[in-house]
């Protein structure tokens, strides 16, 4: 296989009442005084640790509440570090705040596709396509990509590109919005002559058959379905999870499974092997980036304190990664090394009695609540 992971560094339906919805600056101006500034931070995986589908698990709302003071101010810098996605970080933050009953900032949400921002310079004004559940094109256009289309929309401009579409009993979001918004029918550029310069798998694809067909068309033709063979445009995956924990009792096939399916088909119909770049955990880049975000989160508080001496730039002693997937969360934290400390929960992909054999975590617990309890006890004893 020629797919590779990247190693680059850059940077309401309330179930529980929101604790507070203060201005971000006020929230962080209250984040610990100079003397009690946090020397540790936490990265929470979402699926299988904090949520199953849309349901909080493992005592996650109570656990998260312990990271805030009585006034609602954040006491411990933490982020969500998920390979999932499909909606912009700002929207995910609102959704998580609603589900978990604490105030979450967009900057506290790092999704698999968040790293696609690092590709903006290269593709800002190029025709690109994005696929996956949710609103992949909206995600990319919020990052600044100006000529991005969802695969749903792109496919709709090529008659008969999906030979089994008439047997499909569903309507895509694109088709419904087309009816209510006729002015937006055709993009301002020429879809039938412009070549696609890159394809992005932003989140778990919905219609695997159609997506495999259209991606094979784009990738084997050099970016223009129906054209002769051409050089494969770059293909980017937000993550490569083979399986993940959703609402169903056993694991579900993830983006990694889709990648294998696409690759197997492409390599059978095309002379050159599929080339792709994979982002997301366990890539060490993601953990470096998470560390930088956690530092920023802490220093936006420190900025509000004059003469604090270190301006929040001192390194963390420990960063905790709480995850449910040994091959993704634990492997990633271990590869990232100091200051990462990995905690494996039994609420998702991993259900073992003991530690995982290949990627043993630094600590195995039943739930995220237990993990947070361990961290707070350990840190207060330091
Ligand atoms: O699609 C979601 C999945 O791949 C993993 O999400 O939160 O367990 O990293 P998470
Ligand atoms: Mg998970």
Determine the pLDDT at residue 302: 52
Nearest to 80 by CA among 56, 70, 69: 56
- Looking at the 3D structure of the chain, how many domains does it have? 2
User: Residue 126: exposed, middle, or buried by beta-carbon count in 10 A (0-12, 13-18, 19+)?
Assistant: middle
141-157 residue pLDDT tens = 999 999 999 999 999 99
Cα(107)–Cα(84) distance, rounded to whole angstroms?
16
- Percentage of the chain beyond pLDDT 70 is 84
The answer, yes or no, to whether residue 68 has pLDDT greater than 50, is yes
Cα(154)–Cα(333) distance, rounded to whole angstroms?
38
Reported as a pLDDT band with limits 50, 70 and 90, residue 382 is low
204 close to ligand 1 (CB < 6 Angstrom)? yes
84 close to ligand 1 (CB < 6 Angstrom)? yes
Contacts of 379 (CB under 8 A, 6+ apart): 39, 40, 318
The answer, yes or no, to whether residue 72 has pLDDT greater than 60, is yes
Choice from 44, 45, 114 to test ligand 1 binding pocket (greatest atom count within 8 A of CB): 45
Shortest-distance Cα residue to atom 1 of ligand 1: 84
256-282 residue pLDDT tens = 999 999 999 999 999 999 999 999 999
Determine the pLDDT at residue 21: 41
- CATH number of the domain where residue 306 is located: 3.40.50.1000
240 close to ligand 1 (CB < 6 Angstrom)? no
Please identify which residue in the block is written with the tokens 């047997």.
Answer: 167
Cα(287)–Cα(138) distance, rounded to whole angstroms?
25
Average pLDDT over residues 309-338: 89
Answer with the one of 232, 247, 278 that is the final residue of a domain: 278
Using the mean position of ligand 1's atoms as its centre, give its distance from the Cα of residue 74 in Å: 25
- The more confidently predicted of residues 221 and 25 is 221
Please give the residue range of the domain that contains residue 316: 40-49+59-81+281-382
Co-location of 355 and 290 in the same domain: yes
246-255 residue pLDDT tens = 999 999 999 9
Name residue 230's beta-bridge partners: 221
257 close to ligand 1 (CB < 6 Angstrom)? no
The answer, yes or no, to whether residue 184 has pLDDT greater than 60, is no
Atom of ligand 1 nearest to the CA of 255: 4
Total-model pTM: 0.89
Answer with the one of 230, 256, 278 that is the final residue of a domain: 278
82 close to ligand 1 (CB < 6 Angstrom)? yes
Give the Cα-Cα-Cα angle 270, 272, 278 (nearest 5 degrees). Answer: 105
Tell me the ligand closest to 349's alpha carbon.
2
Co-location of 120 and 68 in the same domain: no
47-59 residue pLDDT tens = 999 999 999 999 9
First to last CA, the chain: 47
Please identify which residue in the block is written with the tokens 């020397």.
Answer: 39
Reported as a pLDDT band with limits 50, 70 and 90, residue 36 is low
């Amino acid at each position: 296989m020629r797919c590779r992971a990247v190693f680059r560094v850059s940077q309401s339906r309330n179930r529980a009442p929101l604790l507070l919805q203060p201005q971000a600056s006020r929230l962080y101006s209250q984040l610990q005084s100079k003397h009690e500034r946090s020397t540790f931070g936490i990265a929470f995986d979402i699926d299988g640790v904090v949520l199953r589908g849309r349901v909080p698990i493992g005592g996650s709302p109570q656990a998260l509440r312990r990271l805030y003071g009585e006034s609602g101010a954040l006491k411990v810098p933490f982020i969500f570090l998920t390979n999932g996605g499909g909606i912009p970080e700002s929207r995910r933050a609102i959704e998580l705040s609603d589900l978990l009953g604490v105030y979450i900032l967009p900057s506290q949400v790092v999704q698999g596709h968040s790293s696609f921002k690092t590709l903006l310079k290269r593709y800002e004004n190029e025709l690109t396509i994005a696929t996956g559940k949710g609103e992949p094109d909206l995600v990319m256009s919020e990052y600044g990509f100006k000529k991005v289309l969802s695969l749903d929309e792109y496919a709709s401009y090529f008659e008969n590109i999906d030979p089994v579409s008439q047997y499909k009993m569903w309507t895509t979001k694109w088709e419904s919005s087309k009816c209510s918004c006729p002015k937006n029918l055709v993009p301002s550029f020429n879809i039938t002559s412009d070549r696609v310069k890159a394809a992005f798998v932003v989140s778990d694809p919905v219609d695997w058959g159609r997506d495999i067909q259209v991606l094979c068309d784009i990738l084997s033709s050099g970016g223009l379905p129906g054209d002769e063979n051409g050089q494969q445009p770059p293909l980017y995956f937000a993550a490569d999870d083979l399986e993940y924990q959703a609402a169903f009792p056993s694991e579900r096939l993830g983006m990694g499974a889709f990648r294998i399916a696409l690759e197997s088909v492409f390599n059978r119909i095309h002379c050159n092997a599929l080339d792709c770049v994979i982002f997301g955990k366990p890539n060490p880049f993601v953990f470096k980036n998470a560390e930088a975000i956690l530092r920023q989160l802490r220093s936006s508080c420190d900025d509000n304190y004059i003469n604090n001496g270190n301006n929040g730039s001192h390194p963390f002693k420990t960063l905790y990664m709480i995850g449910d997937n040994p091959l993704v969360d634990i492997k990633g934290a271990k590869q990232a090394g100091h200051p990462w400390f990995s905690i494996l929960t039994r609420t998702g992909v991993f259900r073992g009695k003991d530690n995982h054999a290949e990627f043993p975590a630094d600590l195995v617990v039943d739930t995220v609540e237990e993990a947070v309890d361990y961290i707070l006890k350990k840190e207060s004893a330091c």
